[in-house]
Amino acid sequence: MHLIGLTGGIASGKSTVSKMLTQLGAFIVDADKISREVVMPGKPVWQKIVDRFGTTIANQQGEIDRKQLGKIIFSDSKAKADLEKITHPYIEESANLAIADAEKRGYDTIVLDAPLLIEVGWHTKVDVVWVVFVDEQTQRNRLMARDNISCEDAAVRINAQLALRQKLRYADVVIDNTENIEKTHQQVIQAWQKLHDKVDLASDGVLTPPEG
């Protein structure tokens, strides 16, 4: 089994690359999706967030108001650290279970899609690290357009993460997503092919020619 750690910056294109990897047959474990599941009402994380941030952090339906929580944590590093201390152990436990389950179900390639892969040290538990890169201006423009936020808010969110250029130092594979989707798709297919060819060589000493 190959475990790919897929990371990048906010709005650099991780979900876009994830979808391409799904089409190639990988199973995706999405840390952002898990972070939404673990805060549902009734879960221990929900209570811990309400204890730390007050009852007004939950909306009328009792769900955590993510917009409000995002506003708080992206402008207050202590609040961000507190939220991460509450959520990360549960996100990690759930991600580990999802990886083990996908392995049991016979998936040959599993992708841990996590924006904070390197910040939280999970890059050490994956086989290879793929970083989805874009230049900062493109990143800011895509983030503003997708989330309908101001240039200032986009900059605050980008700066809340380890700089994308720093993440490149941990990369086994860099997917440059600055240009169009087709160019990105070609890089993903190439990296996928290389990963699987390499393993064929390592496992039996003979390079298996690609099919077709």
Ligand X SMILES: CC(C)(COP(=O)(O)OP(=O)(O)OC[C@H]1O[C@@H](n2cnc3c(N)ncnc32)[C@H](O)[C@@H]1O)[C@@H](O)C(=O)NCCC(=O)NCCS
The residues binding ligand X (CB under 6 A) are 10, 31-32, 35, 66, 69-70, 73, 80, 83-84, 87, 91, 114-116, 160-161
Shortest distance (Å) from residue 35 CB to ligand ATP = 10
Q: Which option in ligand X, ligand ATP, none does residue 80 bind, with CB closer than 5 to 8 A by kind?
A: ligand X
For residue 130, give both structure tokens: 């793929």
**118 close to 136: Cβ distance less than 8 angstroms:** no
Q: Closest Cα partner for 139 from 125, 151, 126, 124?
A: 151
Closer CB to ligand X, residue 114 or residue 126?
114
**How far is it, in rounded angstroms, from Cα 36 to Cα 100?**
20
Query: What, of ligand ATP, ligand X, none, does residue 139 touch, CB below 5 to 8 Å by kind?
Result: none
Nearer to ligand ATP, 32 or 136 (CB): 32
Following DSSP, what letter does each residue of 143-159 receive, concatenated? HHHHHT--HHHHHHHHH
Return the closest-CA partner of residue 87 out of 15, 35, 126: 35
At its nearest, how many Å lie between ligand ATP and the CB of residue 181?
A: 5
Q: Which does 35 bind (CB under 5 to 8 A by kind): ligand ATP, ligand X, none?
A: ligand X
- Three-state secondary-structure class, residue 42: coil
Question: Tokens 């409000």 — which residue?
Answer: 68
Q: Hey, is 132 helix, strand or coil?
A: strand
Q: Residue 194 Cβ, how far from ligand X at the closest point, in Å? A: 26
Looking at beta carbons only, is 20 or 83 nearer to ligand X? 83
The residue ranges that bind ligand ATP (CB under 6 A) are 8, 10-16, 32, 115, 142, 146, 177, 180-181, 184
